């Protein structure tokens, strides 16, 4: 199944072809039909945590449910936040988890079979309405749960770092530039992302091949900053701009100087 994918990517991009030759056959993990509610709950638990800590939180969540299986959306909505907090969820994650449960009951987050019949962008548009769920999370669901073949997560750090290493770039590629460059990998961009992840593994092992060609990234148009026009100070009315008339201060009259009394005495002549 992967031979035609490898042939397409190697013919479209020589650097990718060398990376494929170094990694070997395309072997993505098999995906199972799990309800998207469970998948997105795992994604919320893993946010800003390592795998061990997230696994502990999910285990406590299952134990708190007490049903012997994964909690249902109805149970999450009915459960007090303090109980979810005791399992290890933060207040932000509790809000995201309850919003996910509510939108699952509203069928905005449908079952796996219904979701599989929708297009990629339609799935992204629907699931990103859930609090705390971004595009990257949905892209991971598309790749590893729905088996979509043409997903390129350009915001993924591993994909960008793998591209930098495999293509010999001095800096990380801009997501928009990577998006434009990756058009040559269509319709198998998921496989290209998989090989870019493997490129980091080869780099750590010291077996990553050097790129035979110099890669020129597409230019990304920069947004020009529009300078705000200086604010004009509102001019006061003419009457208000006129200076107030000066008032003459009335001073007390000083007593007249007595020329005789105040006249300095003359020194007597010797």
Catalytically active residues are: 156
What is the distance between the alpha carbons of residues 169 and 55, in angstroms, rounded to a whole number? 36
CA 266 – CA 29 distance, rounded (Å): 120
> Quick check: 73 and 101 in contact, CB under 8 A?
yes
For residues 192 and 185, is the Cβ–Cβ distance under 8 A? Answer: yes
Q: 107: alpha, beta or left, given left = phi > 0 and alpha = psi -120 to 50?
A: left
The alpha carbon torsion through 217, 183, 30, 137 (nearest 10 deg) reads: 70
| Phi/psi at 112 (5° precision) | -60, -45
Cis omega (within 30 of 0) for bond into 187: yes
Residue 160: CB partners within 8 Å, gap ≥ 6? 154, 172, 173, 175, 178
One DSSP character per residue, 209-261 reads PPPSS---PPPPPPPPP-PPPPPPPPPPPHHHHSPPPPPPP--PPPPPP-TTT
């Amino acid at each position: 199944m992967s031979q035609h994918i490898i042939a397409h990517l190697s013919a479209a991009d020589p650097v990718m072809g060398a990376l494929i030759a170094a990694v070997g056959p395309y072997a993505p993990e098999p995906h199972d039909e799990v309800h998207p509610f469970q998948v997105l709950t795992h994604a919320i638990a893993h946010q800003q945590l390592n795998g061990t800590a997230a696994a502990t939180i999910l285990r406590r969540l299952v134990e708190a449910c007490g049903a012997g299986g994964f909690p249902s959306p109805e149970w999450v909505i009915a459960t007090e936040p303090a109980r979810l907090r005791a399992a290890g969820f933060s207040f932000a994650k509790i809000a995201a988890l309850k919003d996910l449960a509510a939108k699952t009951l509203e069928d905005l987050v449908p079952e796996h079979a219904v979701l599989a019949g929708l297009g990629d962008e339609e799935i992204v548009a629907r699931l990103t309405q859930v609090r705390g769920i971004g595009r990257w999370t949905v892209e991971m669901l598309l790749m590893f749960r729905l088996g979509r073949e043409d997903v390129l997560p350009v915001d993924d750090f591993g994909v960008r770092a793998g591209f930098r290493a495999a293509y010999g770039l001095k800096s990380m590629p801009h997501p928009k530039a990577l998006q434009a460059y990756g058009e040559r990998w269509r319709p198998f961009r998921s496989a290209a992302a998989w090989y870019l992840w493997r490129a980091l593994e080869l780099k750590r092992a010291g077996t990553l091949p050097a790129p035979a060609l110099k890669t020129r990234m597409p230019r990304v148009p920069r947004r020009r900053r529009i300078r705000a026009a200086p604010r004009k100070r509102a001019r006061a009315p003419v009457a208000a701009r006129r200076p107030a008339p000066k008032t003459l201060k009335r001073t007390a009259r000083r007593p007249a100087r007595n020329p005789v009394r105040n006249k300095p005495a003359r020194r007597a002549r010797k």
